Structure 1
Amino acid sequence: MTGRQVPNIRQKHLGSELRKLRESARISQKYASEHIDGGQAKLSKIETGRQHIRRLELIALLDLYEVDDPALRESLLSLLRDTRKKGWWHQHDDTLDAEAREMLSLEADCDRIAHFSAMVVPELLQTPEYARALIEGLGPHLPQEQVRRRVELRVQRQRILDRDTPPQFICVLDEGVLHRPVGGPQVMAAQLRRLVVLGRRPRTLLQVVPLCRGVHPGLHGTFRVLFHSSSTALDVLEVTDSTGSRYLHDDAHVETHRILFDEVRAAALPSRDSLELITHIATTLASTAGNTA
């Protein structure tokens, strides 16, 4: 399930910037619309992110608004290119809706990810075996081909963490996540060992909120925020519950959850202590798996 419809966020941002430039130039929407095909109705849709603008139309408007700064012109042209680019995720168009594709696009381009998970290991950190067990457990009637495709999608998404300059990934887990043996003790032990390996990377930071904390701010539920240094207008919040994910990109929701994430981090163990805890639980699970083999 999805929440309020998320348009192409880059397209909406581009439209907003064009509106600001037009107003700064003291040009009416009616007059500006005479310089593109489609009239005022089309320009209105462009400025609210509900319609694409062609490259030549964008250049015409920038000229009309006397935007001479080369850096600003190039940034807006680059934003236009980004609204239309197709990433690797389009090979999954048969299983992804428009909102999911937009989120994957923003995920691929973000500079920082703040993720709190109250129930399971985040998808970007899952081993294929853990992912398969989770997908099958939550969708027992899914055809195996769909299960395979979903696992493949998660593995492909994880490549952003293997880049030369990956996004900074700050992940906080409720300790209950570590004790839930998804796929059984052996699969879970391997998953926890994977977390330790990832948690030692320079751009990845893992923290755990211990069970002894009792009630903490993260009990509101799982969420993550994708941050973009190029423009805060591209920042987006994903809130996940039993019904699925909702995507919100308005400043108020993003800021509220940024603050909430800081509060959750304050309740968590430091990274070093968290990795030691994860290692301890993994060792215990591996021993359990060995005894039951």
Structure 2
Amino acid sequence: MAAADPNVSLFVRPLGAVEKNPTALKLILGAKLRELRLAAGLDPVDVDSRLGFSRSKTSRIELGRHGCKSADALALLRLYGVDGEECIAEFLHLVDQSRRTDWWHSFSDVLSDFLTPLVALEGAAERIRTYEPFYVPGLLQTPAYTRAVVQAGPGQLLAHDVMRRVDLRQERQRQLDQPDAPRLWAVIDESVLLRAVGGPDVMRAQLEHLVKMMERPRVTLQIAPLDVTAAVGVGTGVTCLRFALSDLKDAVYIEHLTDSTFTQKPQVVEEYRNMLDRLGACALTPAESLAVLRERLLAC
């Protein structure tokens, strides 16, 4: 098997926001180990056997589902012919970074399983594209608006649980304040502006917040008139995550009534990306959308 060039990094640098995201790092490290294994002409069963791993451990590591220990990573790199000390040191440093606790773990009491993949990776994205047919997108909601949305949801929640969900959404929004924050491109259905979620005062404050957020250079907001959304055929909320690094595949999050779908399958991601392209092309421009928001504010 051919040894890796000891003078070349195994990764495309810089990693940017990805390096601060343990979930994203696990996926990148797993993908890199899979690439090295294939180059070495080995299959996962061979690796498990040679290194004394439990069954399917190699596959779980490559999928980013199993936290890779430094000792395991070193054994894998040696097996795959990586002998450059700088490469190995860099890899093991990222392994250590990937074993940190994600910020969202502190919200595990209120974070649903189906939302976790989106929350875990959105901060590492280069671009977040989202369409919402019923509510203002979560990353653009005010605390009062979020509280009203949560309280209107299924089931009776204690006040503490409602506030925890509001805090979680606010924490997600803080990622947009980072120097390497994702670019947010959001399209909302025109009907969202007509729903006085939480009452007139809450809705007015929410509209004012949208106007303010549109001043940010990394935020783009468009409003899709009713005839546009009917023509494009979007029936549910969709969020696409685009990553700058080729080692991390783009993803799509699709909302359903009681759960969601999160996938990185290229054909599915491409289908929804094309749909968002069509929607954005037909929606009002950001300038036209800003004018509509201001008109709506005057009507409140």
The residue identity in structure 1 corresponding to 2:39 is S
Higher alpha-carbon deviation: 256-265 or 210-219: 210-219
- The CA deviation at 1:138 is 1.8
Q: Aligned residue for 1:137?
A: 152
- The CA deviation at 1:71 is 8.1
Equivalent residues in 2 for 1:47-126, closer than 5 Å: 47-67=62-82, 76-77=91-92, 80-81=95-96, 83-126=98-141
Secondary structure of the 1:170 match is: strand
Choose the corresponding residue for 1:226, options 238, 241, 258: 241
Q: Quick one: structure 1 residues 187 and 17, their matched pair in 2 at CA, closer, same or farther if it must change by over 3 Å?
A: same
Equivalent residues in 2 for 1:238-277, closer than 5 Å: 238-277=253-292
Secondary structure of the 1:114 match is: strand
Secondary structure of the 1:276 match is: helix
- The CA deviation at 1:9 is 6.6
Q: Is the 8 A contact 1:35 1:60 kept in 2?
A: no
Residues 260-291 of structure 1, C-alpha deviation per residue, up to 9 Å, x if partnerless? 11010011011011011011101211xxxxxx
Identity %: 34
The residue identity in structure 1 corresponding to 2:252 is L
Secondary structure of the 2:186 match is: strand
Q: TM-score, normalised by structure 1?
A: 0.84
Higher alpha-carbon deviation: 194-203 or 31-40: 31-40
Q: Quick one: structure 1 residues 74 and 127, their matched pair in 2 at CA, closer, same or farther if it must change by over 3 Å?
A: farther
1:169 lines up with 2:164 in the alignment: no
Give aligned pairs, total: 278
- The CA deviation at 1:207 is 0.5
List runs of 5+ in structure 2 lacking aligned partners.
Answer: 1-22
Secondary structure of the 1:237 match is: strand
The residue identity in structure 2 corresponding to 1:247 is F
Q: Is the 8 A contact 1:22 1:65 kept in 2?
A: yes
Q: Is the 8 A contact 1:90 1:101 kept in 2?
A: no
Q: Quick one: structure 1 residues 115 and 29, their matched pair in 2 at CA, closer, same or farther if it must change by over 3 Å?
A: closer
CA RMSD, 1 decimal: 2.7
Q: Is the 8 A contact 2:115 2:260 kept in 1?
A: no
The residue identity in structure 1 corresponding to 2:40 is A
The residue identity in structure 1 corresponding to 2:164 is R
